[in-house]
Amino acid sequence: MSYFTDLALQYIDGQWCHGSGSWDIIDFDPYNDEKLASITVATAEEIDLAYRAAERHQRAWAKTNPYTRRQVLERTIRLIEEREQEIAEALIAEVGGTRLKAAIELHQTKEFLRESIHLALRAEGRIAPSPVDGKENRVYRVPVGVVGVVSPFHFPFLLSLKTITPALALGNAVVLKPHQNSPVCGGSLVAKLLEDAGLPPGLLNVVITDTAEIGDIFISHPVPKVIAFTGSEPVGRQVATVAASHFKRTVLELGGNSALIVLDDADLDYAVDAAVFSRFVHQGQVCMSANRIIVDRQVREAFTEKFVAKVKTLKVGDPEDPDTHIGPLINAVQAEKVHTIVERTVSEGATALLRGTKHGNVISPTVLTDLPEGSPALREEILGPVALIIPVDGEDEAVRVANDTPYGLGGAVHTGNIERGLRIAHRIETGMVHINDTTVADEPIVPFGGEKNSGLGRLNGEQAVEAFTTTKWISIQHARSGFPF
């Protein structure tokens, strides 16, 4: 099967079909600009068909024995293992990720699917006491019904499946809208795997389209009860606004501006390794990337020298080459945006310890320091291979600088004293902090999500049960009640 030829379609109510829009989304290889696929966009009519199909089929799925539901996910894992090489090649071609990045994404996807298998059995109810004699209160956890999922481009296969499969395992149906830059790996390929694994028709629908065609109907449609969105803060604000106006719950995983703090007692060689990975994995196009590397002045010179030396060893270029560390950014718009940020920041007075060059969508690493206070680069999310080294005097200033951002997704602290690291981690205003590790971390049973402008809600493990189920109270009066009139 050629994924980009055979799966350049919508998937609605178990049928592969063309969209009825008047224009096509063109799927390009970001490294060589080769056209991978052309997909006619879905219209508002197809959005309605997808949601109505999900609503229609969800009722029977919710009644299906959860042990039966989880068998679909078990088969999905086996299919990923059988097709791992093909999927990796598709990921490299569609999003420009390196072979290492594809391997990480596939490994993580299988781990999250294994957790989803267990989630099928976790929607447990409880018996609650009552102040009324003879009364029994039963509180059930039931599926919300239909979930709308909007997935991003950077880890499209993982982030689609880690959201979809918990919802399905818990008895819901899903309509998925993948990012326009990853419509196959984040959308139709996911549908094909679940179809081949035996998921009944209509429970997963994939609509490939753009808001220019459908407006807000994906969010405002009356069928979905929960919208799970992963993407940029501005779009997340729009999703939240529209969803709230229609009384829908949201799970929003938005941007980040994570800080990796290197204290004066850190293992510098290890901290350099963690910082380089945290900043440059997948070209820095990860919401958890260490946008800012905050270093105590006592170790600044030694750390910076080691950091720049290691960054210079990173191989930049063709993601097909197994030795490549940094491939292309997702598209020309993003590449130009990152290039402009570097030009602007240097013109403001920042010192370029290493100045990257731009060739097409490929940008080699840039390392900047001595940024003027108030530089926009310090507060924005830079989705590209640009590292900012910020010197500070002591841990109090490190915490202040780390928190001086509208975002609050993740971070890391490197220190030789674990208790000191814990004290600082508690002071950092983020949803996640990692001591002596990378900022880029996600695990199947640990709550994932951010504070401030980095989103609302959490996913993974029990948090997925909270996100994709609701409670229902049924009381039973075993004795006769007395009424006041």
| Assigned token pair, 374 | 């108030």
d(CA 46, CA 175): 11
- DSSP state at residue 430: S
Q: Phi-psi category of 11—alpha, beta or left, where left has phi over 0 and alpha has psi -120 to 50?
A: beta
Question: Is-contact 386 278, C-beta < 8 A?
Answer: no
CA max distance for the chain: 83
- What are the C-alpha distances in Å from 293 to residues 220, 284, 347, 348? 40, 13, 21, 19
- What are the C-alpha distances in Å from 138 to residues 123, 244, 355? 14, 29, 63
Which residues neighbour 164 within 8 Å (Cβ) at sequence distance 6 or greater? 149, 174, 176, 190, 194, 204
| Residue in 46, 94, 233, 287 annotated catalytic | 287
Burial class (CB in 10 A: 0-12, 13-18, 19+), 211: middle
Which residues neighbour 457 within 8 Å (Cβ) at sequence distance 6 or greater? 249, 250, 251, 252, 449, 463, 467
Q: Is 55 a catalytic residue?
A: no
Closest CA to 88 of 98, 102, 104: 102
d(CA 289, CA 392): 20
d(CA 256, CA 12): 33
d(CA 92, CA 448): 26
Closest CA to 280 of 388, 178, 160: 388
H-assigned helices in 197-232: 211-214, 217-220
What DSSP string describes 334-388? HHHHHHHHHHHHHHTT-EEEE---EETTEE--EEEE-PPTT-GGGTS---SSEEE
Closest CA to 469 of 299, 249, 256: 249
| Residue in 46, 94, 213, 253 annotated catalytic | 253
Q: Is 185 a catalytic residue?
A: no
d(CA 412, CA 428): 9
- DSSP state at residue 123: -
d(CA 125, CA 371): 54
Q: Which residues are catalytic?
A: 253, 287
